[in-house]
Amino acid sequence: MILVAALSGRAIAQAVVRTGVAVATLDQFGDADLPLPARCVAGDPVTGFDREALIAAARTLAPPGSGLVVGSGFEQAPGLLAALMQAGPYRLLGNRPEVVRAVKDPAGFAERLAVLGLEGLEIRHPETRVAMPDDAIPEDWLVKRVGAAGGRHIAPWAGGPLPDGHYLQRRAAGRPTSVAFIADRTGRCETVAISRQWADPAPDAPFRYGGAVLPAAVPTSLVDRLAEAARRIAAAFGLVGLNSLDLLVDGNSVTVLEVNPRPGATLDLLERHRQGGVMRAHLDAAAGRGWTLGEARPGVIAGAVAYAASALTMTADFPWPPWCADLPRPGSAVGVGLPLCSITAWGGDEEEARRRLSCRIERIVADCTRRACIVERTADVVPSLQC
């Protein structure tokens, strides 16, 4: 058995099931399409899991010796990952707590990058600080929470002292881009896909995650540079399994922002693009076995989060289309601006995939607003769309 623990564990759990292994899942959403057995664990999407609740739930679901695959929710608390490993004990199939701590230490990460020779690849890292002089210009900086995910924790810096657990990073130009790669302890590192990503700003979260499209159309020379950067970073930190390298690409200029040392938000897209071979490769690479990636499927796939336009309570008979996932359970409440579901769409190129995706998002939000029990209306109901 493999125990999956992530703030949102559905994508990882379904990917593990496709490898033929039994899975149990701990997450914070308890979606209707989450493979069973599963437990919804208390916590917060930004600050992470309740420690005692997570450990107790793990012990009820997975026997000692089970494998452990984690997603988001542990970068800000590598000590919690260590405690979860010991609770079984469980066999971690991914990056160890000390590796997670190293890549998520803002100052240490910047220092390590400085000696990897990335400047020769025309790749840099933005200035990063854990404290700021009084004469700094706030408009030049963003404040981020250490180890958080999903973009909700990122905000323009307004000046003044930093909250505990936060750091400053100088703004940089470019299109958000991410390199998904798999690495192992032999030094092998292979790019799975390069994706373009975008934000879906909310009034209180200007950098909230929106979605991604892959494989991105980028020049071969850039693909080679990004693959080499991922290889050097993986070797320097000892990364294993599926990881992603987040960047900003502005023409020929590339800025490394961070490493996500675990399967991330694009896992569904990667699995479909590589015809189901990504999670199997992750498990094999993390366990020290030989691994291969599935063949790339033709076409381009895009995926995004659909956010609720109204506060809703979902009905039992809502007809979810097959291109939706992370489905709220009947009777569950979805607040304004909170995730409603995840949506995917294929296209012949990035433009077509994103166009179909946007149409599907508009359709599902409209249909949910029209059919669900509306607690607080914040937008007019619009007719159902055909996508």
pLDDT of res. 158: 86
Closest of 112, 67, 98 to residue 287, by C-alpha: 67
**Average pLDDT of 141-151?**
90
Q: Which of 65-74, 90-99, 365-374 has the lowest mean pLDDT?
A: 365-374
pLDDT of res. 204: 86
Closest of 80, 5, 7 to residue 43, by C-alpha: 7
Q: Is the pLDDT of residue 386 over 80?
A: no
pLDDT of res. 193: 98
Q: How far apart are CA 120 and CA 99, in angstroms?
A: 25
Q: Is the pLDDT of residue 351 over 80?
A: yes
**Average pLDDT of 243-248?**
98
The set of residues, in sequence order, having a beta carbon less than 8 Å from that of 383 and lying 6+ positions away, is 366
Q: Is the pLDDT of residue 379 over 80?
A: no
pLDDT of res. 378: 39
Query: What pTM does this model have?
Result: 0.93
Q: How far apart are CA 253 and CA 239, in angstroms?
A: 25
Q: Across the strands, what pairs with 246?
A: 178, 258
* Cβ(211)–Cβ(176) below 8 Å: no
The answer as to CATH 3.40.50.720 being correct for domain 2-93 is yes
Closest of 177, 153, 171 to residue 163, by C-alpha: 153
Within a 10 A sphere around the Cβ of 373, how many other Cβ atoms? Answer: 11
pLDDT of res. 239: 98
pLDDT tens digits for 306-323?
A: 999 989 998 888 999 999
The CATH T-level fold of domain 102-287 is D-amino Acid Aminotransferase; Chain A, domain 1 (3.30.470)
pLDDT of res. 372: 72
SS (H, E, C) 333-379: EECCCCEEEEEEEEECCHHHHHHHHHHHHHHHHHHHHHHCEEEECCC
**Average pLDDT of 232-242?**
98
Q: pLDDT band at 369, cuts 50/70/90? A: confident
Terminal Cα-to-Cα distance of the chain (whole angstroms):
39
**Average pLDDT of 90-106?**
97
pLDDT tens digits for 163-216?
A: 889 999 999 999 999 999 999 999 999 999 999 999 999 988 899 999 999 999
Q: pLDDT band at 152, cuts 50/70/90? A: confident
**Average pLDDT of 67-72?**
97
More confident residue, 156 or 46: 156
pLDDT of res. 374: 60
Closest of 274, 298, 302 to residue 387, by C-alpha: 302
pLDDT of res. 384: 34
Q: Is the pLDDT of residue 150 over 90?
A: no
Q: Is the pLDDT of residue 50 over 90?
A: yes
pLDDT of res. 321: 96
